[in-house]
Structure 1
């Protein structure tokens, strides 16, 4: 099986994440997208508890048969790095072909990643455009989504509407649990 690995803190998951995963499934040879939930990102501070983010993702993906959540990083030592996750997944799923999915912003910085040469030399990388200025062979053409998790957190803190940014059941859970309300 060919699996697209979509890494993130998903703090929270939003319609942009979902639409990108759906587009990748339509436009590529990828059979399934695994959203790899990072329990604690090495470069991010304010992150909702991993189990709460998992629950928001579970709600968002209830009707998505080809998009699943991977908690592989929950059992890895912290701080964790992408190459360690790739080693673990390749060991656990030796018959699967893994392709990294990332936004253009992350791709621009990939050479700064720990063991970036290992990643670049051993895994195919598909890049989803953010600014659509670079055109390379591994770049997908796709709609630009002007949604970010940080925007959603700010809107929730200001008690603004997020109904167009996240699935309805995710919005209801955020409201019910007062996530991001400060």
Structure 2
């Protein structure tokens, strides 16, 4: 099985995430897309994150009606901070019959050379790249790599940061979130202060 791994803090998961993941599951050779909820990215400040299990629950609520989408808390039990290569090695050992691929925006591809053991990732794992509106384009060397696949997915410029700020400012963000996620956020009174 070819599984696309969509890493993120999903703080919160929003319709942009769902659109990208579903597009990858339906319009590429990926059999499934797994949302890998990251407890702490080396590039993000931890204090702005909701609890790991609240974010995992929101992902679960968001994808429950999508049979090709799944979620994983695999990084919750790995050493912190999490590095993608360590997660990939662990998943490959746990699921030896799966081919694990990465899903990322083109802006992230530009910084791939800064990742721990990025050469090993490039050599062993296909990377599915979706477009972003950005001046940061991938280097020509990466664009020509056999394991990098550009997917003509819809451009989604919605961000979790924007949603958190809008909620804090008392704005209605309901159209930007899966219905179950919006209700969960309302019930839990998250991001209000």
Is the TM-score greater than 0.5?
yes
TM-score, with structure 1 as normaliser? 0.96
Written as runs of structure 1 = structure 2, the 5 A alignment for 1:80-119 is: 80-119=82-121
Tell me what 2:67 maps to.
Answer: 65
* Contact 2:83 2:116 (8 Å CA) reproduced: yes
Corresponding residue SS for 1:43: coil
Distance 1:71 1:142 in 2: 26
Tell me what 1:164 maps to.
Answer: 175
Q: For residue 132 of structure 1, report the CA deviation from its aligned partner.
A: 7.1
Corresponding residue SS for 2:174: coil
TM-score, with structure 2 as normaliser? 0.90
Written as runs of structure 1 = structure 2, the 5 A alignment for 1:1-182 is: 1-45=1-45, 46-131=48-133, 136=143, 138-182=149-193
* Contact 2:15 2:177 (8 Å CA) reproduced: yes
Distance 2:164 2:119 in 1: 34
Which 5+ residue runs of structure 2 have no aligned equivalent?
A: none
Corresponding residue SS for 2:86: helix
RMSD of equivalent CA atoms: 1.4
Distance 2:20 2:165 in 1: 22
**Structure 1 pair 105–132 and aligned structure 2 pair: CA distance change class (3 A):** closer
Which 5+ residue runs of structure 1 have no aligned equivalent?
A: none
